[in-house]
Chain A
C-alpha cells in the first residue's frame, strides 16, 4: 500500500487538518457536490441610479428586483397576472381560475385546504430557494415523498390490487440479495469479487437483504421486522407477532411494480423534502412583501425593443381596454417564458433570439381533489407520501399536513409530466379531466366516489400566462448563447437553468443573470 490513493490522501488531510479542510479537498476533487449557490449575492459598486425594468414577477423576476434594488438600482416590474409568483401558485377555496378556452373553475375547498398546481416540494439541497425562504421568513414543514405504506399499482398485476410499496421494495431487495449472495457463495462471481471482499460482501447481503444462514430470503419474524407482520406484535394476552409471507420474486418481476422504486432514490426526491406551510405561494407572498411596491399588475407586454441608449417596453392592460403604455429603462431582466416572449414583438438578437424562437414548452396536468374525510389515513394508514400507478394520472399524493384532522382534505389526484396522456387530458374540459381522475383513482382507493366532494384541475398548456409548464432543451445546443446578455437585456428563469421546472433553477438563473448584468453596468 505505498501508492497514494485518493482515499488515503483524504484520510491524511482529515487527520492533519480537520474536517473543514477535508470537505474543501473533497469538493475540489469532485467528490462532494456543492451547490452553485454561494450565499446571499453581493452586487458591489454604485449603479448610479441606473434603471432596470424587470418583466415578470415570478421567482426569477422578484429575486432580481429584490437584489437589484438593494444594490441601488431603480426597479420597475411588469407582471401579466393580477398577483405575484408566476408558477409559484396555490389554489384555495374561493379562488377562481379560467383556463384558455374560457372554462372557469370555482375552487370550493374547505378553509385551510389547498393545491399547488405548479411546484409543490422543495429538495433539501436547493440551497438558494431555502435561503430565500429563511430570509423572507417563509415557514416550512416536511413534505413526505417516500411512504412505505403508500401503494404501487398496475392494473394488470396482482389482479389490479394495489400493493404496499413496503412489500414490493423490501421483498425485491431480499430476493435479489439472495440471488447475489448464492452466486457469490457458489463462487460464480470469483472473477469479479476478490477473496478479500467475498466474506464481507456476503455479510452485507445477509444484513441488508435480511437473509438466513443459508442465504435465503424467506418467511421469518426477522424478515417481518422489515416487511411487516401477518399479525403485528401487541401487548398483554395473545400479543405474540406472526410472521408474514414474502411475495415471490417472479411475481414482483413480472408485475413491473419495481418501475416505481427508483424515483424515491433520485437526489431531488431524497429526505428531507419541504413545503411551505399553507401552500407554495407563501414564497411568492414573501417576495411580494419585499418588492410588491415595484410591481405593476395586469400588464401585458406587447413589445420589447432595445438600442444603444436603452430599453423600451410597450404594454397594455391584460384585462382588455385602455391604451398602450410605455416603460423605459437602461437595462432589462426579462423572465417572460419563451413560449410567450416568442409571440411578443422584440428585437433581441443572436443565440438568444434563436432560443426564444425554438424552445417548446411541455405539457403537465395536475388535479386537486377534495374528499369528505381522510380515508387514506383512517382506512389505510397512509400519512403523506405518494402512490404510483400505471393509470394515466400517474400518481396520487396525500397531504403532508393536517394529519388525523376531521373533515375534508385535499390530495393531489394526479400529476402527469410529458407524453401523450398529458395531451389527452389537455384536450378535455376540466369536468372531464376530473371524471377521469376519479375513474382511475378509484381503482386504487374504492372510497373515491363515496367520499368525493369537489376538485380543480390545471393543465399547463392551457394556463394563459405561460402556455406550458416549463421550457424544454433537447440537448443543450445553444444554451450558452441564450444565457448571455444581449446588449441591454438578459433573460432569466427556470428555462435558462439546468434545473428545469424547479424554483431553484429560476432563482439560480436570475442570480447569475443579474451578477453578469451588474458587472456590465459597473465595469462596462
Chain B
C-alpha cells in the first residue's frame, strides 16, 4: 500500500508528499530514498520488447528524439553536435525529416524499424508544428512508405552484448 501511495505521489510530482510519507516509519535511522519525482513522460515509459507503442507525436518525441535533440529541440554541442530542430527551416516540408527519421543520417541511427508509418507521421507533424517551428504539418503515411528502404538492415544485432 505504501509503495502504491509513493508511486502515485511521485507520478503526480508531489515529491514533498513522498518524502513526508517516508519519514513516518520509525524503524529507520536514515530515511529511505524517496522515489524520485519523474517527468510524466519518463514515469510512463513503457519498456519491453514492443519498442515504441505510443502514437502521440509529443510522447514519441519526448521518449526518443529528445534524448539527442533535447526536450525543447535546441540540439546540443560537444566535440560534434546534434542539430537543433527548434527554428529549423528544413522542417517547413516533411519530406526531409521523414527520410532522416526512417533512414538515419551520419551518426544518427535509422529509426524506421522502431516506428510504424503512423508513428513517423505523428512525430514528424510534432516537430513541424511545435518546438517553435509553427509549420503546417504535411506528412502522410504514403510519404513514409515511400521513404522506407527496400531491404532494411537489421539493427537488433546482438554483437558485443
List residues of A whose CB falls within 8 A of some B CB: 80, 100-101, 263, 300-301, 318, 336-340, 342-344, 357-363, 391-392, 417-421, 423-424, 426-429, 431-432, 434-436, 438-439, 449-450, 452, 459, 461-468, 470, 472, 474-475, 500-502
Shortest CB distance B15–A (Å): 11
Taking each of B65, B77, B110, B157, which has the highest tally of chain A beta carbons within 10 Å of its own beta carbon? Answer: B157
CA distance A468 to B41 in the complex (A): 23
Pick the contact of B107: A301, A468, A501, A502 (CB < 8 A). A468
CA distance A363 to B36 in the complex (A): 24
Interface segment among B47-55, B88-96, B126-134, B138-146: the answer is B47-55
Inter-subunit contact A459/B107 (CB<8 Å): no
Given contacts A263-B161, A418-B157, A465-B78, contact A436 B45 (CB under 8 A): yes
B105-123 CB mask vs A (1 if < 8 Å, else 0) is 0111110001000000000
Point out the residues of chain A lying under 8 angstroms from B52, CB to CB: 420
The count of A-to-B residue pairs whose CB atoms sit within 8 angstroms is 137
Inter-subunit contact B67/A461 (CB<8 Å): yes
Shortest CB distance B36–A (Å): 4
Inter-subunit contact A474/B114 (CB<8 Å): no
Given contacts A423-B114, A435-B35, contact A100 B157 (CB under 8 A): no
Inter-subunit contact A339/B47 (CB<8 Å): no
Point out the residues of chain B lying under 8 angstroms from A340, CB to CB: 78-80, 107
In the complex, whether B12 has a CB less than 8 A from a CB of chain A is no
Pick the contact of A360: B48, B108, B156 (CB < 8 A). B108
CA distance A357 to B41 in the complex (A): 33
Point out the residues of chain B lying under 8 angstroms from A336, CB to CB: 79
Inter-subunit contact B36/A434 (CB<8 Å): yes
Inter-subunit contact A426/B67 (CB<8 Å): yes
Shortest CB distance B150–A (Å): 14
Point out the residues of chain A lying under 8 angstroms from B154, CB to CB: 474
Point out the residues of chain A lying under 8 angstroms from B64, CB to CB: 420, 423-424, 427
CA distance A78 to B126 in the complex (A): 41
Point out the residues of chain A lying under 8 angstroms from B19, CB to CB: none
Point out the residues of chain B lying under 8 angstroms from A500, CB to CB: 159-160
Shortest CB distance B3–A (Å): 9
- Interface footprint category on B: 35 or more
Inter-subunit contact B76/A429 (CB<8 Å): no
A-B contact pairs, 14 of them (CB 8 A): A80-B79, A100-B68, A100-B82, A340-B80, A360-B106, A392-B48, A420-B114, A426-B67, A428-B38, A431-B38, A435-B42, A438-B35, A462-B68, A467-B79
Shortest CB distance A267–B (Å): 13
Pick the contact of A475: B38, B78, B153 (CB < 8 A). B153
Inter-subunit contact B160/A100 (CB<8 Å): no
Inter-subunit contact B47/A391 (CB<8 Å): yes
Taking each of A100, A417, A449, which has the highest tally of chain B beta carbons within 10 Å of its own beta carbon? Answer: A100
Inter-subunit contact B160/A470 (CB<8 Å): yes
Pick the contact of B47: A392, A417, A431, A468 (CB < 8 A). A392
In the complex, whether B147 has a CB less than 8 A from a CB of chain A is no
List residues of B whose CB falls within 8 A of some A CB: 32-33, 35-36, 38-39, 41-42, 45, 47-48, 51-52, 62-68, 70, 76-82, 104, 106-110, 114, 153-161
Inter-subunit contact B79/A464 (CB<8 Å): yes
Inter-subunit contact B109/A472 (CB<8 Å): yes
Shortest CB distance A442–B (Å): 10
Inter-subunit contact B36/A431 (CB<8 Å): yes
Point out the residues of chain B lying under 8 angstroms from A420, CB to CB: 51-52, 64, 114
Inter-subunit contact B67/A343 (CB<8 Å): no
CA distance A427 to B41 in the complex (A): 9
CA distance A500 to B159 in the complex (A): 8
Inter-subunit contact A424/B76 (CB<8 Å): no
Inter-subunit contact A423/B80 (CB<8 Å): no
In the complex, the 5 A-B pairs of residues with the closest C-beta atoms, listed nearest first: A464-B78, A339-B107, A426-B67, A392-B47, A340-B80
Inter-subunit contact A467/B51 (CB<8 Å): no
Who on chain A is nearest to B43 by CB? A432
Inter-subunit contact B47/A467 (CB<8 Å): no
Inter-subunit contact B106/A428 (CB<8 Å): no
Who on chain A is nearest to B83 by CB? A343
Pick the contact of B109: A318, A362, A463 (CB < 8 A). A362
Given contacts A418-B156, A423-B64, A429-B42, contact A449 B33 (CB under 8 A): yes
Point out the residues of chain B lying under 8 angstroms from A101, CB to CB: 70, 76
Point out the residues of chain B lying under 8 angstroms from A431, CB to CB: 36, 38
Inter-subunit contact A358/B106 (CB<8 Å): yes
Point out the residues of chain A lying under 8 angstroms from B42, CB to CB: 427-429, 432, 435-436
Inter-subunit contact B107/A361 (CB<8 Å): yes
Point out the residues of chain A lying under 8 angstroms from B110, CB to CB: 360
